[in-house]
Amino acid sequence: MPVALACTLVLLGTTFVVTGAVVAGGHGPVGPDPAVAAFAGRFDEDALTVFVLPTEPPVWLTALALLTAASLWRRRWDVAATAVGAPTAAIALATWVAKPLFDRWYDDHLAYPSGHTTALVSTLTVLVLTSPPAWRRGLTVAAAAVSVLAGLGLVGLDYHYATDVVGGAALAVAVTLVVARLASRARPAPTPRRPAPER
């Protein structure tokens, strides 16, 4: 595994675990949560609703379905596997492992990590990783902006604390990087062309 990838995974994993440990078993805001909630409260409800739109399943599922279909058409099995496997794994870990483990509540529901954030950020990370290299810098900036706005929407509409969003994003990126790495390693090597026979 490349050193940069390993360091990134360690950083993301540490962020996820440490944040989870801080909020574990809690029922209220901690750390930066009140400040982020106050900032998100400056936006009106209509704007916040638009911000969270990309976190809705019809939006990110459509994006993943289109990417998967295009990948299968091009016989890019590794990209298709990443598009299907990464968000599925990230959402499953968030819902069935992390939420019960950390036991952090917002009103009447387990909140850490944010499942909506996990789904969105995993999808955006897949799109960035599988895009042409020339597009990645711009897509990374756009994906970060969409993620931040979605997080503000989730906080401003009283669905989550900011720390839930941070945990969901860290988990999503880490899982997606691992799945993408595994898928790329499993990709068959291109068949070398045979030299043309001499005449």
pLDDT digits (tens, 9 = 90+) for 87-122: 999 999 999 999 999 999 999 999 999 999 999 999
Residue percentage of the chain with pLDDT more than 90 = 87
Under 8 Å between Cβ of 123 and 66: no
pLDDT bucket at 191, cuts 50 / 70 / 90: very low
pLDDT digits (tens, 9 = 90+) for 45-55: 999 999 999 99
- The CA distance from 88 to 102, in Å, is 20
- The CA distance from 183 to 143, in Å, is 22
State pTM to two decimals.
Answer: 0.91
Under 8 Å between Cβ of 112 and 100: no
Helix (H/G/I), strand (E/B), else coil: 70? helix
Choose among 97, 178, 83, 59: nearest CA to 131.
83
Task: Parse the chain into domains and list their residue ranges.
Answer: 3-186
More confident site: 11 or 195: 11
Q: Say which amino acid occupies 169.
A: A
Residue 141: burial class (beta carbons within 10 Å; 0-12, 13-18, 19+): exposed
